[in-house]
């Protein structure tokens, strides 16, 4: 069995300096225990020293096929030469000016070509900043205070969005974070994902007060849950009828499920869109944008204040631009789709052979699987999945050299750097991991 002594040592040191030893909670392996005990909290994360293409290396020199990909941004894989070249060239000219640059324009134009609904957009530094700012804007535009979010969707860690939040908040059992003032939480209405009737009822009750509905068009922070037929178009119709804005959080799906994101894939045009991850090519970036008349309320064009010292940072802009250019190259998404489908089908077959029930989901290169025999359509059904089976699967995958997110409530991402051989190796590893999971009761 693999051991990770240097990572363990580093983690012990980190715990004396950083809360929980990490800079973001989902990294901590808290819920999956350790290789020899699936007791939550008994393990430690791996410290990563480098990445190249589809692979990463840990502090003990172990190599892994990486399906976390920094939680989604690295659609080209690690250290893609185009991105490295662009960042290095930009850095030689200075890392930040706090002034407008031409590259912001170029990246904005690329994003707008992909998502024409973003008639105007503002660059920020993270997905959290994007969603937080979009909500402020929606409230200012509609002159209403309530927002509606879906249970298990995660839109970053702004106060009003840490209500039944997915991702690490769910993994660690704190979907409603302490520290969020009750007065703020009360401004957030909640509905089960995929439940239009519930949304309809909330609009019937609170309609004139609801500023916006915010949704992950493909939920990818409670595991991967696909939008039911008619769900997104239903939200579009309901928001329009009641004068509320529809905000698509495409931080994960943007440029991931296709060049035009989920809005193109499902043919629904939101009022506002939030982006992050891929548009920064692995550097910290977010963006929000939408209809001109709404966006023109943002300062200095309008009175809604939002600012940032490093917003539109040139290194991040260049990394994003290099990434999006590569995504535009002929056949990129077709090849990615083929690899992701091969992995998806291979995982399903491997689980079937191992006799372990799973609920798989996939849109493009975003995949998820739940250890349950019941269909997963929302947060409640996602949470009923077996976390101990997942933990056994997780450690077996790691042992076999495959790095997946240490939580069932996260997604798995395929990059353009994953080869067919990588995929087939992963399926072989998963066959063993599923057999291990099957033995857990």
Contacting residues toward ligand HOZ, per CB under 6 A: 24, 26, 71, 154, 167-168, 221, 410
**Nearer Cβ to ligand HOZ (382/431):** 382
SS3 147: strand
Exactly one of 67, 141, 154, 193 is catalytic; name it. Answer: 154
Q: How far apart are CA 154 and CA 225, in angstroms?
A: 12
Tell me which of 58, 66, 151, 249 is the catalytic residue.
249
Q: Which is nearer to ligand HOZ, 221 or 381 (CB)?
A: 221
159 as an active site residue: the answer is no
Nearer to ligand HOZ, 168 or 312 (CB): 168
Nearer to ligand HOZ, 31 or 221 (CB): 221
> What's the CA dihedral at 357, 358, 359, 364 to 10 degrees?
-150
Radius of gyration of the chain (CA): 21
What's the CA gap between 351 and 275, in Å, rounded?
34
Q: Supply 358's token pair.
A: 């799973």
Least spacing, CB of residue 373 vs ligand HOZ, in Å: 25
Phi, psi of 36 (to 5 degrees): -105, 0
Please state the closest distance from residue 170 (CB atom) to ligand HOZ, in A: 10
Known active-site residue 277: yes
Tell me the closest approach of the beta carbon of residue 284 to ligand HOZ, in angstroms: 12
Give dist(CA 64, CA 62) in Å, integer: 7
Instruction: Pick the closer one to ligand HOZ by CB: 26 or 433.
Output: 26
- Out of 149, 164, 277, 383, the active site residue is 277
Please indicate whether residue 379 is annotated as part of the active site.
Answer: no
Instruction: Classify residue 282 by its DSSP letter.
Output: T
Nearer to ligand HOZ, 238 or 369 (CB): 369
Q: How far is the CB of 23 from ligand HOZ (least distance, A)?
A: 8
Q: How far is the CB of 262 from ligand HOZ (least distance, A)?
A: 15
Lookup: tokens for 50: 């480098």
Which residue in the shown chain puts its C-beta closest to ligand HOZ? 24
Angle at Cα 15 formed by Cα 14 and Cα 16, nearest 5°?
Answer: 90
Whether residue 148 contacts residue 190, with contact meaning beta carbons closer than 8 Å, is answered with: yes
Q: How far is the CB of 81 from ligand HOZ (least distance, A)?
A: 26
Mapped onto helix, strand or coil, the DSSP state of residue 52 is strand
CA distance 273 to 250: 7
Asked if 337 contacts 364 with a C-beta cutoff of 8 angstroms, the reply is: yes
| Residues catalogued as catalytic | 154, 249, 277
């Amino acid at each position: 069995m693999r051991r990770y002594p240097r990572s363990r040592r580093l983690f012990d040191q980190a715990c004396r300096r950083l809360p929980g030893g990490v800079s973001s909670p989902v990294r901590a392996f808290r819920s999956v225990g350790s290789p020899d005990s699936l007791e939550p909290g008994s393990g430690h994360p791996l410290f990563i020293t480098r990445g190249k293409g589809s692979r990463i290396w840990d502090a003990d020199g172990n190599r892994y096929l990486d399906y976390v990909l920094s939680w989604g941004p690295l659609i080209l894989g690690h250290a893609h030469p185009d991105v490295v070249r662009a960042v290095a060239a930009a850095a030689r000219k200075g890392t930040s000016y706090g002034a407008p640059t031409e590259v912001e324009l170029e990246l904005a134009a690329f994003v707008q070509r992909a998502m024409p609904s973003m008639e105007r957009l503002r660059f920020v530094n993270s997905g959290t900043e994007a969603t937080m700012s979009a909500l402020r804007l929606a409230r200012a535009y509609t002159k209403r205070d309530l927002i509606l979010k879906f249970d298990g969707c995660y839109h970053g860690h702004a106060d009003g969005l840490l209500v039944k939040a997915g991702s690490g908040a769910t993994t660690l059992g704190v979907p409603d974070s302490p520290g969020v003032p009750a007065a703020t939480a009360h401004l957030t209405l909640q509905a089960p994902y995929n439940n239009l009737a519930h949304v309809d009822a909330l609009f019937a009750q609170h309609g004139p007060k609801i500023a916006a509905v915010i949704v992950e068009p493909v939920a990818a922070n409670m595991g991967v849950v696909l939008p039911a037929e008619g769900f997104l178009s239903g939200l579009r119709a309901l928001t329009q009828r009641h004068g509320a804005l529809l905000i698509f959080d495409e931080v994960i799906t943007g440029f991931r499920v296709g060049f035009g994101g989920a809005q193109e894939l499902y043919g629904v045009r939101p009022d506002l869109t939030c982006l992050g991850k891929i548009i920064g090519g692995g550097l910290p970036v977010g963006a929000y944008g939408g209809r001109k008349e709404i966006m023109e309320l943002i300062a200095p064009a309008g009175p809604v204040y939002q600012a940032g010292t490093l917003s539109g940072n040139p290194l991040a802009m260049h990394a994003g631009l290099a990434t999006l250019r590569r995504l535009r190259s002929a056949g990129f998404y077709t090849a990615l789709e083929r690899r992701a489908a091969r992995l998806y089908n291979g995982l399903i077959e491997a689980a079937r052979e191992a006799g372990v029930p799973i609920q798989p989901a996939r849109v493009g290169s975003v995949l998820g699987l739940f250890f349950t025999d019941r269909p997963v359509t929302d947060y409640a059904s996602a949470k009923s999945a077996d976390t101990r089976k997942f933990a056994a699967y997780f450690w077996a995958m790691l042992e076999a050299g495959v790095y997946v997110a240490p939580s069932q409530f996260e997604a798995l991402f395929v990059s353009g750097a994953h080869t067919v051989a990588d995929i087939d190796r992963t399926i072989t590893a998963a066959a063993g991991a599923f057999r291990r999971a099957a033995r857990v009761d």
